């Protein structure tokens, strides 16, 4: 059940049986010479939709732009500052908590969002409590990174070994190929790829990772792989969502 | 050309010939008993995609959640505070201006976004100038509300007369029916509908407009109407975008 | 009844019979070679005082500086950032709502304030509700732009036709001449005047509008015209204020 | 020379010979049973105008609302939060520094503004330097409290002794009587008046100072006294302004 | 009783008998060629500990970094912006007020903190009241500057006369020598020392005060003097704290 | 070399040979019935001092209060909101980067700080770049959590097995016992201890973890263990710091 394809009456009915909602969050950032700029949002959205179907959960619209400041020296990347993303999450959850939601399950497609999201959850719990919202002390957020699912990680290792890398990875590229088979890109990929540098500012990042990849070989990706990743992530996160709901 | 389906190399190439980008912005808010919560985002996104195809322009991911505080007494509505939306716009445009974009064309699906967007443009011009970004004094934003296109307005008047109303209108509902024919909703609509009250806070809004509609009769909407609205808006806004680009 | 010339005991008494207050807001910005920098504040203040006298309403001190970032490439202009103006309005209305006021009637002298004021109203409704202030959900703000009164617009058209323009207009200059006859300025005004460009950042604005006027011929203004504008605006806005008060 | 009664061309000319500007700042807050709510703004504005005439200095519009949170349990008081006032001052000085001003002389009518103004000056110096504004490291702010002038203090002591008190004082009330002789108020004043308590929050303040006065007997005020205070303050602050200008 | 060396159970017990807490605040800033960068924090911490022992009061961890923007052109200085320090104080007091504390006694070692702290207290009183925290209207903050104690001032005058100066003073240096006798520094000190200039921005400050001292001769300091200052400050502030506690 | 025990001349000299600085950060929060409220700050400070001695690095004053919102239902806990901590870190690093530092090594004693610190680093890199600070694109932050050192983890496992738990752990308690042997606390510890619940808001945390411990048995701690933890952490982090410095 997709929130943007529902009416408020349907949401009112939904709330009678569940206080849970799934919020997909991605990023709009370079993903190497062949990866789509929307990769992280595409993956999060597709998987969230799958989890929603599997579990009958409501799925919010995708947060397409996240915390990707370190990618902004590559054109096409868009990022919120962490302080802005914290305000955004606070506003989303304030709106939804007022309506009666208390279980927020974020399906995340971007490693760079993790720290800020966790900070945002802490800030939001405190703000909701200060505003004396009913049920504020029952609000719970869970961060579910599809790329960190055990079954996903296992498959990536089997298929790509060390060529999985850590950004513009064949696994995420494969998933976008499965979702958007018409948008599979070709571009020369040097065999040698930078890897292992820590991440600091945007200019520094581009200096170290000149084509945007971090140790990955996205040429290994196929739509068929993508389907497998999709199915594993949906299965594992559906289970995770149901456990989250069941938790006190 | 959709940003999320492009690579950074493609964006780099695009920037050699154009500094323009289209940013669809909608809202996630109640649209009466039969209107989709995502109506404003769906309309903006579909039209932006159409304009992008017509004009070869790059289209950014849709900003799905806007300024809808007055709708938040209806479940399922999500809103940013104006101050948060201003920060978000500032961050988007800072990222894109650094990359070389200077012409920002916002295709907007929600009247409630207009004031905050204009405030955000003013704030952003000043901030970019203070940061000494190259071309900061050449940055231009244009707000294009599809529902205020002359040709759209004309058609709505012909088809619906005074039953168009001003929220959860048959024209916007029709457009969503055209885009998502599988998500056409049925619910009882009272013949009498509240109209003409000014908009203040969320509780007050729901008190005055108990089913969420503002003077509208969305039962008049059909997918065929939706297609007509879509085509008129795309045509008119494509023209508008090209003029905006051509302007000094 | 002017707030700054009242005592708190008088305000306490006033609140027993009315929850309404008038807040004049202007701007401090260039108004072409002959227009006063305080034009917008002067007009708003004079009219607000007149409306207060006509309707027995309390009038707050004038907000002299508003959102005029696009004029700041001309010396003497002072502007708040939109985010600052939003905080200012929120603070004003928080103070006044705590005291029992719920009807806020802004008499505005500057088009550039409109978007930010509307955004500020939305932000304030939400913040007051979150803080659980008594009557928060009864708070209502109304934006009354004197220069958009029908009777004012009509007169400007009759007197000046297309030479009214849209900034440093003869109508607003006339009104300041009526209020401050000793401060009527003379300076050469080129017959040709820039017009029709959209407004972006401050440097761009001055590039397009080199003497600060936007399509106007303020040389047509006279103090006698000013009195007429004043009287029409006071009459129309007094009516508007009383209707606002009477509204549920 | 009053900024709001000047044109931008006149300001441009003024800047050729002086980089100084006077900014009056007051407050909108209760001043006891007989004191005007605008007392602090009225005094600051009148004296600033006098100093401007004496020294040929430009005088900005009065900041009518300052930091008066502790007075907000009395109706009619309006206050900015300190963080808002800091943003406001930063915005004012950013606008004026861009135009070439570097010497900012604040004539202040309210003790409660002092701490926040000093904090705002520090914040502004740092922000202007970070933005690389030309002359940022030459920007200087001076806080001139008229009520702390030696000659003013001396006169208050002579006229009122210990009945001067520290809020709603006869000296400030006298000055408003001189400026607005038609707005002299009468109300019963108990002989006993609270005094000596420190200032904390608004509710606490009203509990301790039930009629709003702090140890003062404003019944002693006369318009003639007011004129004397006015003349002493103008003389002393004019001298102070010229020394400030002359300083490196 | 030091908060950082206590358990939460001990704090719970403490709150049964006292609602007071001492918060030492200093600064991390240049103190001339021989003064320690931590001087203000060291003094505040030592004295706060002494007062805590004398009065059985709980002492919070020292706020080591304060408002020292004007010192930041000297390496090693660290400063918060005033707006950040206000947020920090608001967060500290929100945490502690929720736990039941209402009496906050700040022992301050840095003149530059005073304005921002006072602004922060005002902001905090208002915010706590808006959040409806229990006892919010009983919260009281007191700013106690050890260097402004009468007995301290008297001793400094006797020992150093006009060579006390106003920054990097022998009295504060002496106190650090008493606390950290192993960190007594030697460096050439010119006999002539800049004095009497007002404080503006950081670059300006260093231009006027090239070695960081303001009219002081810290070579006069001895650890024995430091002990005397310490003892006087502890005695006087202990008395002051007890009076603060006893106050309604 | 401790910053607070240094002079600015010594820092100037230091900067000629190193651009690195160590910033200890802890927290002020409950640590179970026997753990010190300052545990995280005490550990971070002691280890940072040790690393500074080993590597000749400059050590900044300890940030004593961090992000501990979830502990604030226990008295004595003090927390910054994440947004405040981000501003604080931004201010610290702005001050230090202006002075020439570019390598910031945070020795952290509190798991709850990690997300916000990472978000703060990202925000700061972007802000410094926007302000055009020299070397802004060379600024690097590293987060070093002493409790996650391999050698520390190994020892905790050997000594305590599963009784290490995850908050108020015997390892951190032991370290504080080594540093402050006079502050070893005794209190009854139930054999059964809550464990395994995720962390949400403050009220929820205390409901799940009624005595503050998370699965730990701090009664196992001894000062001798503490010394071992200290020595392992200092050794491992000294190595880590030197590698960080050597890195491009």
The answer to whether the beta carbons of residues C216 and C167 sit under 8 Å apart is yes
In which band, very low, low, confident or very high, does the pLDDT at B220 lie, cut at 50, 70 and 90?
A: very high
Does D134 have pLDDT greater than 90?
no
pLDDT of residue B134 exceeding 90: no
Chain D contact for E86, CB < 8 A? yes
Average per-residue pLDDT for chain B:
97
pLDDT for the residue numbered D199? 97
What pLDDT score was predicted for residue A134?
Answer: 85
- Of F4, F80, F212, Cβ closest to residue E41: F4
Q: What is the pLDDT of residues B49-103, one digit of tens each?
A: 999 999 999 999 999 999 999 999 999 999 999 999 999 999 999 999 999 999 9
In C94-207, at which residue ranges do the beta strands (DSSP E only) sit? Answer: 103-108, 140-145
Look at C141 and B200 and tell me if their CB atoms are within 8 Å: yes
Percent of chain F at pLDDT > 90 equals: 98
Burial class, E233, CB count within 10 angstroms (exposed 0-12 / middle 13-18 / buried 19+):
buried
Q: Indicate the domain borders of chain F.
A: 3-246
Mean pLDDT of B168-191: 97
Mutate which: C119, C129, C130, vs A, most A CBs within 10 A:
C130
**What ipTM does the predicted assembly reach?**
0.98
Indicate if the pLDDT at residue D190 is higher than 90: yes
Average pLDDT of the residues in F71-81: 98
High-pLDDT (> 90) share of chain D, %: 98
Mean predicted confidence (pLDDT) in D88-92: 98
CA distance C203 to chain B (A): 6
- The reply to whether B132 touches chain D by the CB within 8 Å rule is yes
Q: How many CA atoms lie within 13 A of D155 on its CB side?
A: 24
Query: With 90 as the cut, is the pLDDT of residue E132 above it?
Result: no
pLDDT tens-digit series, residues F148-175: 999 999 999 999 999 999 999 999 999 9
What does the pLDDT read at residue E134?
85
E146-171 pLDDT, tens digit each: 999 999 999 999 999 999 999 999 99
Establish if B131 touches chain D: CB-CB under 8 angstroms: yes
Nearest CA in chain F to D133: F131
Min CA distance, C41 vs chain D (Å)?
A: 8
CB contact under 8 A, D82 and E86: yes
Q: Quote the pLDDT of residue B244.
A: 98
For F65-88, give the secondary structure using H, E and C: CCCCHHHCCCCCCECCCHHHHHHH
On whether the CB atoms of residues F219 and A153 are closer than 8 A, the answer is: no
Identify the pLDDT of residue F2.
98
Please report, in angstroms and rounded to a whole number, the separation of the first and last CA atoms in chain B. 24
Q: d(Cα D172, Cα D238) in Å, to the nearest integer? A: 19
Average pLDDT rounded to a whole number, residues C165-190: 97
What residues of C are in contact with residue E132 (Cβ under 8 Å)? 131-132
Residues 177-196 of A with CB under 8 A from B: 180, 183, 185, 187
Q: What are phi and psi of E13, to 5 degrees?
A: -65, -45
If phi > 0 it is left, if psi is from -120 to 50 it is alpha, else beta; for residue D197 that is: beta
Does the pLDDT at position D20 exceed 90? Answer: yes
The reported pLDDT for the residue numbered F7 is 98
pLDDT at E243: 98
Instruction: Note the pLDDT of residue B167.
Output: 98
Is E3-246 assigned to CATH 3.30.465.10? no
The DSSP letter of residue F187 is: -
Task: Please list every residue in chain D whose beta carbon sits closer than 8 Å to the beta carbon of residue B131.
Answer: 131
Chain B nearest-CA residue for A82? B91
pLDDT tens profile F227-242: 999 999 999 999 999 9
**Each residue's pLDDT tens digit, A44-58:** 999 999 999 999 999
Sorted by sequence, the CB contacts under 8 Å of residue B74 that are 6+ apart come out as A8, A99, B29, B30, B206, B212
Averaged pLDDT, F12-18: 98
Report yes or no: C66 at the B interface, CB cutoff 8 Å: no
Chain A residues in contact with E132 by the CB 8 A cut-off are 132
Does residue B136 have a pLDDT over 90? Answer: yes
Confidence at residue E133, expressed as pLDDT on a 0 to 100 scale: 87
Q: Give mean pLDDT, residues E99-118.
A: 98
Sign of the Cα pseudo-torsion (A10, A12, A14, A17, in order): negative
D191 secondary structure, DSSP code? S
For residues A203 and F130, give the distance between their C-alpha atoms in angstroms, rounded to a whole number.
12
The pair phi, psi for residue B20, each rounded to 5°, is -100, 150
Query: CB of C224 within 8 Å of any CB in chain D?
Result: no
Chain E interface, best mutation among C130, C131, C134, by max E CB count within 10 A = C131
C65-91: per-residue pLDDT in tens?
999 999 999 999 999 999 999 999 999
To the nearest whole number, what is the mean pLDDT of chain E?
A: 97
A15:B185 CB<8 A = no
Residues 32-51 of A with CB under 8 A from B: 32-38, 41-42
pLDDT at D133 over 90: no
Instruction: Determine whether B203 is exposed, middle or buried from the number of CB atoms within 10 Å of its CB (0-12, 13-18, 19+).
Output: middle
| Angle, in degrees to the nearest 10, between helices E170-179 and E223-246 | 90
Confidence (pLDDT) at F105: 98
Residues 6+ apart with CB under 8 A from E207: none
pLDDT tens digits, one per residue of C130-160: 997 889 999 999 999 999 999 999 999 999 9
**Which chain A residues have a beta carbon less than 8 Å from that of C132?**
131-132
Tell the residue number behind the tokens 């505070």, with chain if given: B81
How is A35-66 classified by DSSP, letter by letter? B-TTHHHHHHHHHHHHHHHHHT-EEPPPB---
What Rg value do the Cα atoms of chain B yield, rounded? 18
């Amino acid at each position: 059940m997709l929130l943007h394809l529902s009416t408020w009456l349907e949401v009112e009915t939904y709330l009678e049986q569940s206080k849970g909602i799934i919020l997909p969050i991605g990023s709009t950032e370079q993903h190497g010479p062949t990866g789509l700029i929307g990769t992280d949002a595409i993956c999060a959205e597709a998987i969230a939709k799958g989890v929603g179907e599997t579990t009958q959960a409501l799925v919010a619209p995708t947060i397409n732009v996240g915390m990707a400041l370190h990618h902004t020296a590559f054109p096409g990347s868009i990022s919120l500052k962490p302080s802005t993303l914290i305000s955004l999450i606070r506003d989303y959850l304030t709106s939804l908590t007022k309506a009666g939601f208390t279980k927020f399950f974020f399906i995340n497609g971007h490693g760079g969002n993790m720290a800020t999201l966790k900070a945002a959850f802490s800030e939001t719990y405190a703000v909701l409590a200060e505003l004396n919202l009913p049920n504020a002390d029952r609000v719970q957020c869970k961060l579910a990174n599809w790329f960190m699912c055990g079954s996903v990680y296992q498959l990536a290792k089997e298929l790509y070994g060390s060529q999985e890398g850590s950004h513009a990875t064949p696994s995420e590229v494969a998933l976008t190929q499965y979702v958007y088979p018409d948008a599979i890109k070709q571009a020369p990929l040097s065999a040698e790829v930078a890897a292992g540098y820590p991440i600091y500012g945007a200019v520094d990042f581009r200096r170290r990772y000149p084509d945007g990849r971090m140790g990955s070989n996205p040429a290994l990706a196929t739509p068929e792989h993508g389907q497998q990743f999709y199915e594993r992530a949906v299965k594992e996160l559906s289970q995770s969502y149901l456990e989250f709901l069941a938790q006190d």
